[in-house]
Amino acid sequence: MDGLWRAFIYACTIHVGSYMTKVFKGYLLIVGSISIVMGLLGMFLPDLGWYPSFADIERGTSLANFIRTMSGVFVASGYILIRFIFSSSKVQLGHVLIYLVAFMLLGKISGLFYEGFHFHDILTSTLGFIALIGLIVVHRHRKNLLNYDL
């Protein structure tokens, strides 16, 4: 009887294993989609009161600008997650960093538009743009160093 149970459990884990991959991919797709939608709402809606935790945050404050910046990170994370699910090739670390910084800057620009221009925000936006340009230049330089004659 013990031999039958061992075979039965082994067969069940194989069947469940292939099914669970689809379940996990579906779950990750839902999480990525929600991250993109919530991030876009956080970046582009003028009022942050649509989300209960942000209802007490006043416009024009540095906290509101920070929330818009982090909303860009949520959009980038959701996009990278969905790209990871459907891509058969590896997503390079350089691309991940470029997406994160680019969407963070998009959220920062949205924060500047809605919350106003403050010296700290302009300084961090400038430093962010320099970081984005640096990431793109270094990533292109590394791509050109790859030897395809293997």
pLDDT digits (tens, 9 = 90+) for 40-84: 999 998 888 888 888 888 888 888 888 888 999 999 999 988 888
Which pLDDT score, from 0 to 100, does residue 5 have? 64
* pLDDT for residue 124: 87
pLDDT exceeds cutoff 70 at 7: no
What does the pLDDT read at residue 130? 94
pLDDT at 16 over 70: no
Quick: pLDDT tens for 102-146: 999 999 999 888 888 888 888 989 999 999 999 898 888 877 776
pLDDT for residue 30: 93
Neighbour-count burial of 75, counting CB atoms closer than 10 A to its CB (0-12 exposed, 13-18 middle, 19+ buried)? buried
**What is the model's pTM?**
0.72
At residue 51, the pLDDT reads 83
Task: Identify the pLDDT of residue 133.
Answer: 93
| CB 78, CB 122: distance < 8 Å | no
- At 32, the amino acid letter reads G
* CA-angle at 28, arms to 26 and 32, nearest 5°: 120
pLDDT of residue 132: 92
Residue 9 buriedness (CB in 10 A; 0-12 / 13-18 / 19+): exposed
